Chains A and B, each alone.
Chain A
Amino acid sequence: MKVKTTRFGELEVDKKDILNFKEGLLGFETLRKFFIVDPGDQTLILWLQSLDDGATAFPVIEPKVFAPQYAVKLLPAESASLSLESLNDASIYTILTIPQNITDMSANLKAPVIINNKTRESRQIVLQDSKLEVRYKMYMELKKYIVAYNSDDTRRTRVELDRELRVETTETVAPAVTEITPEKDPGLDM
């Protein structure tokens, strides 16, 4: 199906990649359907784009990129609400705030977005751990990761191989990301 978005222009989204947020996101309870967009800008930042409202999208990133020690612990009722047997079947993203001064960018570790890769059921879950920050500054960690990633050829090759493998298994594993090739003008003359 075709979806018009303000940031990425018109996108083609496969029905099976649509994520269902039964409760919406905090402050956005009426928006229930989203999909993930990769703008191809090599920042590792993806976008959680609303299907219902083309103007609403949240920049997200996998926390393992900037916080390898970060561990999500769900209550039994939370796993059950996502029909999750194990976190191995889940994708985890943190929502980013990117202010004018980008070195102040932060990720919400307290309330990650958790996606059941099998059913596409998704929720933003507020974790109980009171030490987790809603605005965890992570610019330096992200930069370090990207610089290391770009300067390590062996690693890059390996990652690309991984990525190919992942594409093959997309049908049964993670929801596919709607990719936008950098050459294509995303129609952003706002």
Chain B
Amino acid sequence: MVLVLLRLIMLVLTRKLGESIAIDDHIKIVVVQIKGKQVRLGIKAPKETKIHREEVYRAIQDQNTEASKSDLSGLGQLTDDLHKK
């Protein structure tokens, strides 16, 4: 729910090299380098803040979805194979 809201009201800011954005009192995002199509960001945040590339979350979602489709019949062969020396 929260995620959906955030997506709807996305704040867009323009920043130059070396400039930064402050989020709450403790998080700071700095544009460290701009090179062609790539932007390098530096993130200063309290240790307990979780920071991941979004692809990581997507990869885990995909893995979960795939895992949830496993069924027992496939495991019969696995049991046989695993016990073969």
Chain A interface, DSSP helix/strand/loop, else mixed: loop
Cross-chain contact A97 with B82 (CB below 8 angstroms): no
Instruction: Give the docked Cα–Cα distance between A49 and B78 (Å).
Output: 20
**CB contact between B64 and one of A25, A43, A102, A186 (< 8 Å): that residue:** A25
**A1, CB-defined interface residue at 8 Å:** no
**B14, CB-defined interface residue at 8 Å:** no
**B36, CB-defined interface residue at 8 Å:** no
**CB contact between A26 and one of B47, B60, B73, B81 (< 8 Å): that residue:** B60
Cross-chain contact B59 with A77 (CB below 8 angstroms): no
Instruction: Give the docked Cα–Cα distance between A108 and B63 (Å).
Output: 8
Given the interface pairs A42-B79, A43-B79, A143-B81, the reply to whether A98 lies near B60 with Cβ below 8 Å is: no
Chain B stretch 31-85: residues in CB contact (< 8 A) with chain A: 47-48, 50, 52, 56-57, 59-68, 70-79, 81-83, 85
**A96, CB-defined interface residue at 8 Å:** yes
Given the interface pairs A75-B48, A188-B73, the reply to whether A142 lies near B82 with Cβ below 8 Å is: yes
Interface residue range, chain B? 20 to 34
Interface residue range, chain A? 35 or more
Q: Which residues of B sit under 8 angstroms from A146, Cβ to Cβ?
A: 82-83
- Residues of B with Cβ closer than 8 Å to A? 47-48, 50, 52, 56-57, 59-68, 70-79, 81-83, 85
22 contacts between A and B (CB under 8 A): A26-B57, A26-B61, A26-B64, A27-B60, A27-B62, A41-B75, A43-B78, A58-B67, A76-B48, A97-B66, A98-B70, A102-B78, A108-B60, A108-B63, A108-B67, A110-B59, A126-B50, A128-B50, A135-B63, A186-B72, A188-B72, A190-B71
